[in-house]
Structure 1
């Protein structure tokens, strides 16, 4: 157990707790279609998609476009195929369970489009808070998403440890906000035990 004041451990999802075995990227295809319809390509297009709570047509409607039925069916088919490619790392659920038993509150904080968050929520249920970008309407490293965590759990930034695989979103963003952070490198075989040994 750690002597730090950490009370909450927040986890990124994809690349940290879960992986997509084979990416199909339906939202990339959707964004490319928006560009063909006259939507000016912007660096923030992916952020926009993950900050709106809804399906493809909800996002298109928000921008003033209508998706043809055949293409909408194609997008949904691709989406279902990609969701079926999601699997949790073998240590994810056991580690979350041990952390909860040790008294830590657990948060999932992810930049995700709505269907991905809903799917992960069905796989990882025993937690204290979901901080999905589409519900907060902000993506990491926007401070708004970290503030959502402390507001919802009534804690201080220095009581939160953030764990993730992306330096900007999961380390720099949280630490700029006053949280602690640890980077996990799943691609090189690092496990949650390696990163969280002081807390397990």
Structure 2
């Protein structure tokens, strides 16, 4: 294995702040929006549908822009990272693994992630690329920036439909991370178990995986 590519939301970064800021902006309790996100997840719908359940007909893009203009927009700092992120990514690089971060996030999120000075060789978001998971175009971009053959590249993520299945279709190796609502919900699903090359509970396990190979 030469390269590991990491999803962002609920793989490296907690989504707590993201949904909390939306709940505050819409004037509803944090728990209400969290529950609605869970509900649309189970239904296989896009997360944005949770916002439209609160405010029917909501133009999410326009509302996002309004939040930014009001100084209440997207924000990330080290407290949003899971505790194992920095040590795991640094450990992988020390072993000679190219570390790439690529997930479904906004253009601003890409800038915020790069400002965190993570131990990664390359960081990009769907907003910057103009294509999003689970599209084949997104994973073609992943293969391009991986600088390795697909079978030498491992894609790590929590969401089966956005991460594991399309990565497998692109010829990549995969690791399903039991983390966040999506990672826990489908952790023991037979289709996920069959599709993923590895299933892990922590990013630290990926360091051990390389070290033992």
**What's the TM-score, normalizing by structure 2?**
0.63
Does structure 1 retain, via aligned residues, the 8 Å contact 2:6–2:102? Answer: yes
SS in 2 for 1:183: strand
1:9 alignment partner in structure 2:
4
Q: Residue 138 in 1 paired to residue 135 in 2? A: no
Instruction: Give the CA deviation at 1:197.
Output: 2.7
Does structure 1 retain, via aligned residues, the 8 Å contact 2:136–2:166? Answer: yes
2:56 alignment partner in structure 1:
none
Any idea what the Cα deviations from partners look like across 1:11-66, whole Å, max 9, x if unmatched? 0111011113332238x97xxxxxxxxxxxxx8896xxxxxxxxxxxx76xxxxxx
Kindly indicate whether structure 1 or structure 2 has the higher relative contact order, using CA contacts under 8 Å at least 6 residues apart.
Answer: 1
Any idea what the Cα deviations from partners look like across 1:147-199, whole Å, max 9, x if unmatched? 11222343211111011111111110111100010111124692112355311
Alignment CA distance shift 1:75-1:155 (3 Å): same
Q: 1:192 aligns with which of 182, 185, 203?
A: 203
2:151 alignment partner in structure 1:
158
Aligned length: 159
Does structure 2 retain, via aligned residues, the 8 Å contact 1:7–1:159? Answer: yes
Does structure 1 retain, via aligned residues, the 8 Å contact 2:77–2:116? Answer: no
**Structure 1 vs Structure 2 CA RMSD:** 3.0
Structure 1 regions of 5+ residues with no counterpart? 1-5, 30-42, 47-58, 61-66
C-alpha separation in 1, matches of 2:11 and 2:47: 23
Q: Which moved more, 1:95-104 or 1:183-192?
A: 183-192
Alignment CA distance shift 1:182-1:196 (3 Å): farther
**What's the TM-score, normalizing by structure 1?**
0.67
2:120 alignment partner in structure 1:
127
Q: 2:165 aligns with which of 145, 169, 172?
A: 172
Alignment CA distance shift 1:168-1:76 (3 Å): farther
C-alpha separation in 2, matches of 1:85 and 1:109: 18
Alignment CA distance shift 1:45-1:75 (3 Å): farther
